């Protein structure tokens, strides 16, 4: 445990840092959540940022979802029960209203309520994903739209096909790996390993009644089988990207998963994206990545953790071969002081943050700073993921300014292959979840100090100074 004076510094702001704007079954312990102190929410900021590009879009979404306020919307994301008329009488109504939330002119940003009687929003016939209020706007927008039209066609298909994951009609293939872990270095080798089982699974889904019902309810032509099969594969990578990215981090950082009592991974800044509709078994693939492991405990911590998720309250030993998945709602530095330092929760072998977003908002940066300093000062092996090369560059700069010792960064071999559209800016280049990663361990200054202590007598200590020290 660090000295008390050292722990206190995690709470202080750092004025010099300016954010840049730009396998066995999983065990889920059913314990009620406890609420912690509120803090900036990436879910909340994301929802209200819709107004920046399309004024009135957030209210349109609430209206189509039969909700009265954002608080009710957030309640549903958190797994709670809405108080108004949320819900739909039939699948056709649900899909129609979902599609209505995308109806605004991609060029002039006009909503249906702002159009004259002579204008109607019509979608692009190629991608069926963006709308225009007339030929003039569509022609004016074509130079921007043509760069992403084909990719947005995939987005439109995936948006509907995701419903099969929600209903459980698309069950991901799962089971012990038939290849050595060292051989499976990314999606190409993973798909090759799973080919026979995967082909059988996809054929069953493509020929199912659920698939027929989905497209009959969607109100649009059913795509060709090869298009639907491609969508299912992209959705599969999206669902498995998180557990396999955790495994990639454990493997890349050389963390021993064979230690007695099991290994622990903390996922920090977790939101509804990681916890809403998460089921037992969703992280089984992590266990199959490490045959013979002695237990893997994954704890998701964040102020947006869904209310239906459990709270882990035990540091007891894990059964060999099991993956335990649990969650805690709150800020990570509070969670650390209240549960990790007191011994209630196991000390993490690895900490992972999926898309922390601290590069984009001063509020989020202020919220993340205590956690980043904690991870640095306690020298916790850490990995974060980002959506794009632009985010990678901005995040690296912030971490360097914080004197983090960056050990590796680059393209994630287990990034999701499902393109993500920017909701309120549809012609912006789509991004992919966990496309890039950054790994860091401790402080560059701390490592320099160790090197200085180990230097040979008479050796010039200046050669061990960090880049930031030499240029100050």
The Cα-based distances of 264 to 272, 300, 349 in angstroms read 21, 11, 5
Q: Would you state the pLDDT for residue 315?
A: 62
Percent of the chain with pLDDT over 70: 79
Q: Would you state the pLDDT for residue 8?
A: 35
Q: Would you state the pLDDT for residue 313?
A: 52
Q: 33 versus 196: which is more confidently predicted? A: 196
Picking from 10-24, 72-86, 122-136, 208-222, which range would have the lowest pLDDT averaged per residue?
A: 10-24
Q: Please state the rounded mean pLDDT for residues 246-256.
A: 95
Measured CA angle at 332 (ends 74, 76), to 5 deg: 10
Say how far apart CA 208 and CA 167 lie, in whole Å: 13
Q: What is the pLDDT of residues 368-424, one digit of tens each?
A: 999 999 999 999 999 999 999 999 999 999 999 999 999 999 999 999 999 998 878
Q: Would you state the pLDDT for residue 288?
A: 96
pLDDT tops 60 at residue 163: yes
Percent of the chain with pLDDT over 90: 55
Q: Would you state the pLDDT for residue 60?
A: 80
Average predicted confidence (pLDDT) for the chain: 82
Say how far apart CA 379 and CA 351 lie, in whole Å: 11
Q: Would you state the pLDDT for residue 45?
A: 65
Residue 27 pairs in a beta bridge with 324
Q: The domain at 4-39+241-450 falls in which architecture?
A: 3-Layer(aba) Sandwich (3.40)
Picking from 204-218, 306-320, 353-367, which range would have the lowest pLDDT averaged per residue?
A: 306-320
Closest CA to 387 of 426, 421, 424: 421
With left for phi above 0 and alpha for psi between -120 and 50, is residue 289 left, alpha or beta?
Answer: alpha
Say how far apart CA 315 and CA 337 lie, in whole Å: 15
Q: What is the pLDDT of residues 84-132, one digit of tens each?
A: 666 677 888 888 888 888 899 999 999 998 888 778 899 999 999 999 9
The residue extents of the domains of the chain are 4-39+241-450, 43-160
Q: Would you state the pLDDT for residue 42?
A: 62
Burial of 151 (0-12, 13-18, 19+ CB in 10 A): middle
């Amino acid at each position: 445990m660090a000295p008390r004076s050292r722990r206190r510094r995690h709470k202080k702001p750092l004025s010099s840092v300016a954010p840049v704007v730009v396998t066995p079954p999983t065990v889920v312990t059913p314990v009620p959540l406890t609420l912690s102190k509120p803090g900036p929410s990436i879910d909340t900021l994301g929802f209200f940022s819709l107004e920046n590009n399309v004024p009135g879009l957030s209210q349109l979404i609430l209206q189509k979802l039969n909700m009265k306020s954002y608080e009710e919307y957030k309640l549903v994301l958190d797994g709670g029960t809405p108080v108004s008329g949320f819900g739909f009488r039939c699948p056709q109504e649900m899909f129609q209203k979902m599609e209505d939330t995308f109806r605004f002119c991609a060029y002039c940003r006009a909503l249906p309520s702002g159009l004259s009687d002579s204008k109607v929003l019509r979608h692009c016939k190629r991608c069926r994903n963006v709308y225009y209020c007339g030929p003039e706007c569509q022609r004016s927008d074509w130079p921007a739209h043509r760069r992403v039209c084909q990719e947005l066609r995939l987005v439109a298909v995936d948006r509907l096909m995701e419903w099969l994951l929600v209903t459980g009609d698309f069950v991901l293939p799962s089971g012990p790996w038939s290849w050595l872990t060292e051989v499976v270095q990314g999606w190409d080798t993973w798909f090759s390993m799973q080919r026979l089982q995967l082909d059988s699974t996809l054929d069953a889904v493509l020929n199912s009644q659920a698939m027929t019902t989905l497209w009959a309810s969607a109100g649009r032509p059913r795509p060709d089988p090869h298009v639907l099969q491609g969508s299912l594969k992209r959705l599969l990578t999206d669902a498995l990207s998180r557990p396999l990215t955790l495994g990639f981090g454990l493997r890349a950082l050389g963390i021993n998963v064979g230690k007695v009592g099991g290994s622990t991974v903390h996922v920090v800044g977790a939101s509804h994206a990681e916890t809403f509709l998460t089921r037992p078994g969703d992280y089984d693939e992590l266990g199959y990545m490490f045959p013979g492991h002695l237990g893997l405990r994954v704890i998701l911590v964040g102020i947006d953790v869904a209310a239906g998720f459990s709270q882990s309250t035990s540091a007891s030993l894990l059964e060999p071969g099991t993956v335990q998945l649990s969650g805690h709602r709150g800020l990570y530095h509070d969670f650390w002081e209240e549960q990790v330092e007191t011994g209630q929760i196991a000390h993490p072998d690895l900490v992972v943050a999926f898309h922390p977003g601290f590069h984009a908002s001063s509020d989020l940066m202020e919220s993340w700073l205590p956690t980043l300093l904690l991870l640095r000062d306690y020298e916790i092996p850490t990995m974060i993921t980002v959506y794009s090369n632009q985010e990678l560059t901005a995040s690296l700069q912030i971490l360097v300014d914080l004197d983090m010792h960056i050990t590796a960064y680059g393209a994630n071999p287990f990034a999701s292959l499902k393109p993500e559209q920017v909701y309120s800016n549809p012609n912006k280049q789509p991004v992919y979840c966990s496309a890039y990663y950054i790994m860091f361990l401790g402080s560059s200054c701390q490592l320099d100090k160790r090197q200085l202590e180990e230097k040979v007598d008479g050796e010039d200590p200046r050669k061990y100074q960090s880049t930031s020290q030499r240029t100050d």
